Chains A and B, each alone.
Chain A
Amino acid sequence: MGRAGSASVLAFEAVTRRFGARRALDGVTFRLAPGTLTALVGPNGAGKTTLLRLAATLDEPTSGRVTVEGATGAAARRRVGWLGAEPALYDDLTVRENLAFVAGFHGRAGGVEEAAARFGVTPLLDARARGLSRGERQRVALARATLAGDLLLLDEPTTALDAEGADAALRALVEMRGERTLLAATHDPALVAKADRVLRLDGGRLS
């Protein structure tokens, strides 16, 4: 599982993903240019989460090919930062430990404080994740995603955040554009407005 050229950060080539008879994605082809913020929009069930999971190597296409900087498998995962639909923290670890766990694998252990500051969770660093509100958990999970690879795959990044928190998170994400490549599945019009590009999925197809 290695690299085979890296013309773009993320490439989907005629990707189809079936679950039984249902086609969650149907012949999807696109490429992401480095340093861009792309909004992935579409109604519920359009295939947004399936597309993100394929990009993150959490799932495999039924047919077609997904590469991250030309790589697949573990080599692709080195370049990916992941935020799922749920914040998914270890409740018995502190926020710092949750962040450091992922950061350590990506050689970014020294960036924990900066990532926490970026998403406003510095005062929570030594608190156990168990006691955090849903919005706080979301901000910690966002910080954790930025401590991984340079391609950020974000499933509803501003969900569960209040208006102020969503604004702050969006500002932080927009500031990262340029040094990072972001692909965010979202229903948030503010995020869509800031995006360099909008990918619209409907019934598993890009329109």
Chain B
Amino acid sequence: MSAAWWRVAGKDVRVELRSRATLVPALLTGLLVVVVGLLAFHDLPERGMVAAGVLWIGLAFAGALGLARAFGAERDRGTLDVLLTLPVERGHVYLGKVAASFATILLVALVLVPVYLVAGGEPVPLQWPGLLLVLTLGALGLAATGTMMSALASGARGRETLLPVLLVPVLVPLLLASVHATQDALAGLPFARWRAEVLVLVGYDLAFLAASTLLFEWGV
């Protein structure tokens, strides 16, 4: 059943498009962080250096809001049992959830970056395809990690508090590589200068996706 993850993702996207329970708060949170960051660092000569950090703080906060719901909402309405009795390996359910969370986080990123560029009066970076690659890899890593942690936390009391505690330490390498690569892409540096960070992101994403797909059965 190779399309199983696609069906789970499609269901989540359809639910989200109708409820907007995740996308709207995630967008507003991300925008708030970016706008406050722009105002706070407006007069700083090295504003370009902190921009990547502000962007990724916004994305991490926005992503965490949605990721908390990835399994929490399923458990609250009782539909987690419906998902877990689907006739597929449970790793497919995990991958479907990752795909839906990834779509949300990437969409937020694709709004935040132009807002940052326009509101900050910045030119479109020459390395915009590279920037898009970094955003995609970073969003995928956030989704892969956050979805697994959401599954682990969903059955616990105080899961909203537990999720960041589980998530933040694991995200450190992802966020460091994303921030550095975004800085270099925004500065228009050649790809060779930040290829190492991109490789870290690829490795992180592959490792987390593979391990979580295998371990999800015991995590949820």
Residues of A within 8 A of B (CB): 56-58, 73-74, 77-78, 80, 82, 84, 86-93, 97, 101-102, 104-106, 144, 148-149
Residues of B within 8 A of A (CB): 1, 4, 7, 11, 14-15, 18-19, 77-79, 81-82, 84-90
A92 with B78: CB separation less than 8 A: no
Given known contacts A84-B78, A88-B79, A92-B19, is B11 in contact with A101 (CB within 8 Å)?
Answer: yes
Interface residue from A82, A89, A90, A101 paired with B85 (Cβ < 8 Å): A82
B15 with A56: CB separation less than 8 A: no
CB-CB < 8 A to A73: which residues of B?
Answer: 89
Q: For the complex, give the distance between the alpha carbons of A97 and B82 in Å.
A: 14
CB-CB < 8 A to A101: which residues of B?
Answer: 7, 11
B11 with A90: CB separation less than 8 A: yes
Main secondary structure of the interface of A (DSSP, over half): loop
CB-CB < 8 A to A58: which residues of B?
Answer: 81, 84-85
B11 with A86: CB separation less than 8 A: no
Q: For the complex, give the distance between the alpha carbons of A86 and B75 in Å.
A: 12
Q: Closest approach, in angstroms, between the C-beta of B84 and any C-beta of chain A?
A: 6
Given known contacts A88-B79, A92-B19, is B7 in contact with A77 (CB within 8 Å)?
Answer: no
Q: Closest approach, in angstroms, between the C-beta of A164 and any C-beta of chain B?
A: 25
A57 with B89: CB separation less than 8 A: no
Given known contacts A82-B81, A88-B78, is B1 in contact with A105 (CB within 8 Å)?
Answer: yes
B18 with A92: CB separation less than 8 A: yes
CB-CB < 8 A to A86: which residues of B?
Answer: 78
Q: Closest approach, in angstroms, between the C-beta of A150 and any C-beta of chain B?
A: 12
Q: For the complex, give the distance between the alpha carbons of A105 and B89 in Å.
A: 12
Q: For the complex, give the distance between the alpha carbons of A80 and B1 in Å.
A: 16
Interface residue from A82, A91, A148 paired with B77 (Cβ < 8 Å): A91
Q: Which chain A residue shows the least CB distance to B92?
A: A74
